A = this chain, B = another copy of it.
Amino acid sequence: MQDVSPFRNAAQRETDRAAKRDAVLRAAVRMFNERGFFATSLDDVAASLGISKRTIYHYLANKDQVLLECVTIGLQQLLQAAEEARAESGNGRDRLMKFLRRYAEINMDDFGRCVIRTGEEALSRESLPRYRALKKEIDVALRQMLREAIDDGSIAPIDVKIAAFTLAGALNWPARWHEPDGALSTSQIADAMVDILMAGLDSRSA
C-alpha cells in the first residue's frame, strides 16, 4: 500500500474546485427562487455559505454569470431528459410521456425552477443568445418527439407547434406554484399532470 500524499494532485484540485463552484451555484439558485434574482446579492449567497464575496469571485465572475450558469444547468437537465427519453424502447407516445414526466420533475427542482421563475428579463444582453439557443433546442426536441408519435400513430394528428407550447406551458407552471414541502411528491404531480395532457393527445375515435 502506497503512502497517501498530503498534497492534492491536479485532478483532486479540479474536483475540489468544481464541488465548490457547484455549492455556490446551488446556494445562489435557491435564493434566486425564494427571494427573486433582483432581491438577492452575492453577499447574501456568500454569507449563506460562510464565505466572503471575494471567494465567490474565485469561481464565478459576477451575479449575471451565476444566473447564466444556473439556468444553463436547468436547461441542460431538460435536454438530457429529452435524449434519455429518445433512447427508450416503445412507441412515440411512450417516449414522449417519459420526457414530459422528467420535464415536469426538473421544473420543480432548483435549477429548472430558476429557468422559469427568473426568466430572460434578468439575463444580461450578452447571456441571452446562449440561453435562447438552449431553449430553442428543447423546443425542437419536444416538437420532434410529438412528430414521431404522430407519425407512428400513437397520438392523434395535431398542430405540433401549438401542442409543444401547450405541454411546455403546463409543465413549466409548477416552477411557480409547487411548494417543495407540499403533500404530493414531485413525481406524483408530474404523473398526474402528464396523464391529463397525454389524454388530450391520444388517438380518439370520434
Contact = CB atoms under 8 A, between A and B. Distances in A.
Interface of A: 36-39, 117, 119, 121, 156, 158-159, 162-163, 165-174, 176-177, 189, 192-193, 196-202, 204
B162 A196 contact: yes
This chain: copies in complex: 2
A170 B176 CA distance: 13
A85 to B, nearest CB: 20
A200 B166 CA distance: 12
Nearest to A193: B166
Contacts of A117: 119, 121
Given A170-B170, A172-B173, A173-B172, A196 B163 contact: yes
B39 A166 contact: no
26 contacts: A37-B121, A39-B121, A117-B119, A119-B119, A156-B199, A158-B196, A162-B189, A162-B192, A162-B193, A163-B196, A165-B177, A167-B170, A169-B169, A169-B170, A169-B171, A169-B173, A170-B170, A170-B173, A170-B197, A196-B200, A196-B201, A198-B200, A199-B200, A199-B202, A200-B200, A200-B201
A198 B204 CA distance: 13
B121 A176 contact: no
A3 B118 CA distance: 59
